[in-house]
Chains A and B, each alone.
Chain A
Amino acid sequence: MMDKNARPQKPQVDMKVLKRVLAYIFKQYKFIFAIAMLCTVFSSFAGVYGTLFIEELINDHILPLVDAVKAGEAANFTGLLLALVKLASIYLVGIIANFSCAYLMVIIAQGVLKKIRDDMFSHMQTLPIKYFDTNAFGDIMSLYTNDIDTLEQMVAQSIPQIINTVVTIVSVFFSMLVLSIPLTLFMVLTVGCMVLITKYIGGNSARFFVAQQQAFGKLDGYIEEMINGQKVVKVFNHEEHSKEEFDKLNYNLRDNARKANTFANILMPIMGNLGYLQYVLIACVGGSLAMAGVPNFTLVGIGLLDLGVIAAFLELSRAFTRPITQLSQQINSIAMALAGAKRIFKMMDERSELDEGYVTLVNAKYDENGKICECEEHTGIWAWKHPHIAEGTVTYTRLTGDVRLNEVDFGYVEEKTVLHDVSLYAEPGQKVAFVGATGAGKTTITNLINRFYDIADGKIRYDGININKIKKADLRRSLGIVLQETNLFTGTVKENIRYGKLDATDEEVYAAAKLANADEFIRRLPQGYDTMLSGGGANLSQGQRQLIAIARAAVADPPVMILDEATSSIDTRTEAIVSAGMDSLMHGRTVFVIAHRLSTVQNSDVIMVLERGRIIERGSHDALIAEKGKYYQLYTGAFELE
């Protein structure tokens, strides 16, 4: 539980992360980004010019005309017309610049976002299984949803806005200095107060938004757990309790959300009205000074404070306050986006799976001398190509599926060894079964064979080659796997089977399905092999999903298979079909089975009984039964398989 009194922190702008986000922009879009920023500058200038034009309009055109008419002269509007044409052209440039900037920023933001997304996913593909075992799926998912969304906001909106804001502030400030230094100083004073207020309110708002997110996360977690166990809630009449706890979390969220929203809501009226107050003050103070005939100091010299100057200054004051009050909000939103970006980069900084292997798997054939050699075409024969750098030679070893573990120790974390001194060998075509309780280390052994996890020392040999020397991709291609949890992908049945061999022909797919005993039920599906599977095959039964997974492994046709039998109870009839499918898949291959069914265990060549990471018994079924040890107990049902 978190300390309830801990005040949530206001997010801070992380410069390192910001630099990295900007690097993404500069790398691909240096030129476009420069143009976009230039456009922003033009567009802000046009805005400032428009504001300044009011002074020109009143002082240089309207007032002289009024005086002229009063003096009885005819009014000549040509000057005004010219000035307006000039203004219109500058406005036109501003509008075009504004549009170009918005348009270019779309290109940049979307491009950068796509690049980051693709980089994230590509990098994630290279991460070791350990990463996925130690990070919650929900957390990884939110990188792709929430975090990337806020980042998008930042690149597409906050960055150009903040540049626009800064340019406006600077140019307005200089224009104000040109108009009047004393009034500008007065402005700076009042604006300073306003900035302090914005900082306070904006900071609180950001802080409570963080608190709101936390409260939201807690409620979300609770809802998720309860809704998933809703049937249990019903069966135990637990509804009232569940409501009580929900209300607590719900009210906590409400209170935090109210505070966060209140601060966000009151910022605008406060800033707006302070702006007006400032306006009044400047008008009255400036007016009084003008009346008193006080000289006006400006950047360009000394003059008189007159109506036009004050009128223009008033307009500028509003153009000055607005961006300044927005600035702190923009900085807050950037800080929040960077917090998400930080999580994204953390994932992208995770170390990839290390692969120093150089032995590769190639198509092979026997030449006329009966020696094995590499060839281009698919022959059904595979060989390990083993370059020896020191001698400059290459040797070929035929892939047969001989796997040996020699005194393997292993722990997922250093201080806790889960496998102790495990030795075993599987000759080509042999079937090795692992039997033992949950946590005995069955799955760990298979994780080591296909190098989901690495052992420090090369004590595992495949066809006589240290598996650390084999390229991971080639090693895994030579190993088939059927897992307990059958993960199917959105797509047709055919596509799912083809996952085992992407270039498999339809005939190969059908043959694999037949081998797996899956053909019959697939043909009975509404669209046969073209039936769409969604939600991981939620529309199929557990047994049917398994059959497809078996077919998927069958189409890959690897010499070595790792099978993790499903534990969940399927009925006797389906079980018979599935195990027949498994049996035909195992035929003629080296197989490692994590066994949960007696029938599989029995006809294995070797059975390994594991207990707490050690092999405690090994031998054939008959030998182990005769031994009357743990296996015997297990077999007679006196001890849990799972």
Chain B
Amino acid sequence: MIKKLLRSVREYKIYALLTPLLVAGEAAMDVLIPYLMSKILDKGIKGGDMGYAWKMGILLIFVCIAALVFGLLSGVTAAKASTGFSSNLRHDMYYRIQNYSFSNIDKFSPASIVTRLTTDVNNVQNAFQMITRVAVRAPLMLIFAVIMSFTVDRKLPFIFLCIIPILGGGLFLVIKFAHPIFEKVFKLYDKLNNVVAENLHGIRVVKSFVREEHEKKKFGEVSGDIYKNFSKAEKILAFNSPLMQFSMYFCIILISWFGAHFIVESGNNPDLGMSTGLLMSLITYASQILMSLMMLSFIFVMITISRASAERIVEVLDEESDIVSPRLDPVREVADGSIVFENVDFSYAKDPGKLCLSGVNLEIKSGETVGIIGGTGTSKTTLVHLIPRLYDATNGSVSVGGVDVRKYDIKALRDEVAVVLQKNVLFSGTITENLRWGKEDATLEEIKHVCRLACADEFIENFPERYNTYIEQGGANVSGGQKQRLCIARALLKKPKILILDDSTSAVDTATDAKIRKAFREEIPNTTKIIIAQRISSVQDADKIIVLDEGKVNDVGTHEELLARNTIYREVYTSQQKGAME
């Protein structure tokens, strides 16, 4: 998993490697400093040798400058490496997602992908920076400081060795007890957010049923749970700082007591043993050692938190697109708009026991208009999704222009097969920008032309800014019928050989619907048109109509033929005519 993530470091590798080296240099300098200070104190000030003090002082200043340079550089490289790494990680994930097939997309909810790309990457970035800096610094400081303190004195540093397990054990216990509660709190946070989100979406329901008090109670219960658990966890964490103080104070008192004895023995001469300057440096080492331990425990928590994020990121990176263009000689030309289904079975779960489509055989000639009718859950959408190879048939084959769709270069195939999806989306941007998704360099004339075909020109001309009207995210500022017509225009701009409309005129009135179909017939006669509809009127003048039932082709025929012989078709027809016939 870690290896997979680290692949995204790439051009920042040099910075990622430099950082720990620089940090190590900084740590080494930091540990030297107290030692030099003790020299100044002992020989210089106390020994009355100010010349020596100044000499050591200047040396110390150089060490400080070195430490400063190391520190600054490591700060710069660490920032560069970690933010570069996270940026690459987002880049890799996003590019990978762009290659996902429909079935890959179905696996992740959009919200979860967004969280993975944002919050999870942030967590990993922080952990990465911590590891390259603090995770190197803390243990090094610990080791260096222990070594230095032993060079200062042979006996006193054993005090540290006593206190390290006590502090380490204490910190471990704190994490061990607090961490599971924090995990629980994070889940409660999700629950709380869910209550708020549901309340926001359903505020009209809440208000019209006068359920404000009920909602408050619901929220209060969760916020109460959070309060209880979070308090519990934080109260355990409250031991951290006193524990640290205890260890530090413990060291100071023992060092003072034994140190005093040793100093008296040596006559306060650093050459003979302990001295006051060395005593003070030992106290500094004590604080360096204990701080490092504290840091280590902090990193430990940080890494456990980011582990879950790392796992979620790797899931995205590991997801292999199951639909790719053939590697050898993909077909780049679609000859015409003919479509053939041969014994096609399909299952989303790739499980032959759970087929959504079974035994489908169809032949559609280039330029035909084909209607598809059937109830919800009869796999109408699934059927047409196989044509531009949004999904692959589980068994059998689908051919376009006489060639199996799996042999095409995907881009070439999809350029010729335009689908107007049932759940369609417009993006924030002007109408022109949205339509140009169909053809990047479309002129305004071309855009106006397709809008005329899709009967969208009239309402667009009525907007004050016409084709430059800004569409809000998701097309929130146009009506359902207008949105559908814009989506049709966008698909038409591709000048495809096959055009698939998946329930794309459900919110358009029947007259306009008829007008659009008439335009199709007259203006793009050579394009194969496949129309999925709930309304019989949308398909009744098609060359053939396919009736789907429970994933099987129930019948194929013209409106008249089906009306005469097909019960399902007739049932739908009469239910829709009931009103108008009276």
Contact = CB atoms under 8 A, between A and B. Distances in A.
Contact of B234 (A66, A110, A262, A264): A110
Given A125-B212, A266-B72, A283 B198 contact: no
B331 to A, nearest CB: 16
Interface in A378-404: none
Interface string B183-205: 00000010011111111111111
B234 A269 contact: no
Pairs of residues from A and B, 8 with the lowest C-beta to C-beta distance, nearest first: A269-B71, A265-B75, A487-B202, A637-B510, A102-B238, A254-B87, A261-B79, A640-B509
Contacts of A437: 479
B245 A66 contact: no
Given A95-B249, A137-B200, A572-B572, A243 B95 contact: yes
Contact of B67 (A273, A286, A489): A273
B289 to A, nearest CB: 17
6 contacts: A226-B427, A228-B425, A238-B437, A250-B90, A314-B280, A473-B210
Contacts of A195: none
A141 to B, nearest CB: 6
Interface stretch (B142-150, B159-167, B261-269, B555-563): B261-269
B209 A265 contact: no
Contact of A310 (B45, B207, B234): B45
Given A137-B197, A268-B71, A572-B572, 6 more contacts: A118-B216, A223-B113, A238-B437, A250-B94, A253-B87, A283-B41
A270 B37 contact: no
Interface stretch (B223-231, B299-307, B347-355): B223-231
Contacts of B44: 283-284, 287
Contacts of A499: 205, 209, 211, 214
A284 B40 contact: yes
Contact of A638 (B54, B211, B510): B510
Interface in A587-642: 598-599, 602, 635-642
Contacts of A230: 97, 100, 105, 110
A261 B263 contact: no
A144 B95 contact: no
Interface string A561-576: 0100001111111101
B205 A639 contact: no
Contacts of B576: 572
Contacts of B97: 227, 230
Contact of B102 (A107, A122, A234): A234
Given A111-B227, A640-B509, A487 B205 contact: yes
B386 interface: no
Given A87-B253, A638-B510, A62 B388 contact: no
B418 interface: yes
Best-buried of A283, A477, A485 by chain B (most CB within 10 Å): A283
B151 interface: no
B276 A311 contact: yes
Contacts of B84: 254, 258
B462 interface: no
Contact of A235 (B205, B390, B512): B390
A361 to B, nearest CB: 10
A201 B223 CA distance: 38
A196 interface: no
A53 B283 CA distance: 12
A483 B206 CA distance: 12
B564 interface: no
Contact of B241 (A102, A117, A253, A280): A102
A569 B503 contact: yes
**Interface on chain A toward B: helix, strand, loop, or mixed SS?**
helix
Given A126-B212, A476-B207, A290 B480 contact: no
Interface in B52-73: 53-54, 57, 60-61, 64-65, 67-68, 70-72
A280 B61 contact: yes
Given A125-B216, A287-B50, A438 B480 contact: yes
Nearest to B481: A640
Contacts of A268: 71, 75
B388 A235 contact: yes
Given A95-B245, A129-B204, A258 B480 contact: no
A223 B428 contact: no
Nearest to A281: B57
A65 to B, nearest CB: 5
A288 B52 CA distance: 11
B37 to A, nearest CB: 7
A642 B267 contact: no
Nearest to A70: B267
A124 B207 CA distance: 11
A311 B283 CA distance: 13
Nearest to A85: B253
Nearest to B30: A272
B276 A84 contact: no
B579 to A, nearest CB: 4
Contact of A438 (B102, B256, B479): B479
B326 interface: no
Interface in B227-274: 227, 230-231, 234-235, 237-242, 245-246, 249, 252-253, 256-257, 260-261, 263-264, 267-268
B223 A571 contact: no
A51 B410 CA distance: 73
Contact of B507 (A121, A536, A574, A642): A642
B40 A283 contact: yes
Interface in B113-133: 113-114, 117-118, 125, 129, 133
Contact residue range for chain A?
35 or more
B575 interface: yes
A328 interface: no
A291 B46 CA distance: 10
A80 B227 CA distance: 48
Interface string A471-492: 0010011011101010111100
B236 to A, nearest CB: 9
A228 B438 contact: no
A129 B207 contact: yes
Interface string A48-63: 0010011001100111
A251 interface: yes
A223 B118 CA distance: 9
Contact of B61 (A80, A277, A314, A637): A277
B219 interface: yes
B479 A62 contact: no
B567 interface: no
Contact of B197 (A98, A132, A141, A277): A141
B21 interface: no
A476 B209 contact: yes
B78 A269 contact: no
A224 B110 contact: yes
A110 B481 contact: no
A641 B579 CA distance: 15
B114 A141 contact: no
Contact of A487 (B118, B198, B249, B279): B198
A539 to B, nearest CB: 13
B227 A110 contact: yes
Contacts of A61: 260
Contacts of B537: 637
Contact of A269 (B72, B99, B214, B438): B72
A637 B204 contact: no
A598 B576 CA distance: 9
A439 interface: yes
B473 A58 contact: no
A179 interface: no
B576 to A, nearest CB: 8
B175 interface: no
A229 B375 contact: no
